[in-house]
C-alpha cells in the first residue's frame, strides 16, 4: 500500500505557473472562487458565504496536507502571487494506488490553457512522486470545459453514472474519467 507524505510541501512549477501552498493570505481569492455560482456551477458543494467559511476551507485543505490524506495547491502565475484557482488530489486511495484530481479556476482565467498546464504537471507528480497507478476525475456531464481539459490531458471516459449524487433536492449524474500510468 502506498504511503503519502506531503512534508515538505511540494511546490510545483510549470512554464507559466507556480503551484503553491494555499494560506490564510488567500482568503479573499478562496472566497471569490467558492462563493461564485458560476465557478461552482458543476461542483455539488455549498457556496462559501463569508470569509469565515473561506478560512475554514483553507484550514481543511491544510489539515488534509498535514495528515497526508489529500493535497491541494493554489494556482498562480509565476509573476503574480494572486491565487487564480485551486487544484489537487482528493479522495486518495493508497490501497488502490489511485487518487481523484479536481480543480477550480476563476472565470476570467478559464479558456487560457491554465488548468491543462497544471493538470499535466500534477499527472507527472502523481505518477512519478506519489507512485499512483491511476488518476480519476469525476465531473458533471454538462461540464464540457472540464471534459475538454481531461481529454486533452489523455484521460478517457470510464463511466457515466446516472443520478448517483443527491444534492439540493435533485439527483445528479456523474461522469468518471481516468488515466492509467503507462510506465
From 141, 125, 130, select the one nearest 4 (Cα to Cα). 130
From 139, 89, 96, 144, select the one nearest 119 (Cα to Cα). 89
User: How many CA atoms within 13 Å lie on the side-chain side of 82?
Assistant: 10
Residue 134 CB neighbour total at 10 angstroms: 17
| CATH superfamily of domain region 12-133 | Gcn5-related N-acetyltransferase (GNAT) (3.40.630.30)
Which tens digit of pLDDT belongs to each residue from 10-54?
A: 999 999 999 999 999 999 999 999 999 999 999 999 999 999 999
Counting as low any pLDDT under 50, the low residues of the chain are none
Measured CA to CA, the distance from residue 26 to residue 82 in angstroms comes to: 8
| 151: three-class secondary structure by DSSP | helix
Q: What is the pTM of this model?
A: 0.96
Residue 63 CB neighbour total at 10 angstroms: 11
Residue 41 CB neighbour total at 10 angstroms: 11
Where do the domains of the chain lie? 12-133
Q: What is the pLDDT of residue 1?
A: 86
Q: What is the pLDDT of residue 162?
A: 98
User: How many CA atoms within 13 Å lie on the side-chain side of 36?
Assistant: 14
Q: What is the pLDDT of residue 183?
A: 74
Amino acid at each position: 500500500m502506498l504511503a503519502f507524505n506531503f512534508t515538505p510541501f511540494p511546490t510545483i512549477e510549470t512554464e507559466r505557473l507556480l503551484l503553491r501552498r494555499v494560506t490564510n493570505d488567500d482568503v479573499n481569492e478562496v472566497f471569490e472562487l467558492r462563493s461564485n455560482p458560476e465557478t461552482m456551477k458543476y461542483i455539488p458543494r455549498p457556496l462559501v458565504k463569508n470569509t469565515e467559511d473561506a478560512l475554514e476551507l483553507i484550514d481543511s485543505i491544510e489539515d488534509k496536507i498535514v495528515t497526508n490524506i489529500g493535497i491541494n495547491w493554489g494556482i498562480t502565475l509565476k509573476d503574480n502571487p494572486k491565487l487564480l484557482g485551486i487544484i489537487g488530489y482528493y479522495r486518495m486511495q493508497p490501497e488502490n494506488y489511485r487518487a481523484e484530481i479536481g480543480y477550480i479556476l476563476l472565470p476570467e482565467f478559464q479558456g487560457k490553457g491554465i488548468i491543462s498546464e497544471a493538470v499535466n504537471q500534477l499527472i507527472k507528480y502523481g505518477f512519478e512522486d506519489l507512485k499512483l497507478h491511476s488518476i480519476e476525475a469525476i465531473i458533471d456531464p454538462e461540464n464540457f470545459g472540464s471534459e475538454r481539459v481531461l481529454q486533452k490531458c489523455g484521460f478517457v471516459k470510464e463511466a457515466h453514472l446516472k443520478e448517483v449524487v443527491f444534492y439540493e433536492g435533485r439527483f445528479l449524474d456523474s461522469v468518471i474519467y481516468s488515466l492509467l500510468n503507462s510506465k
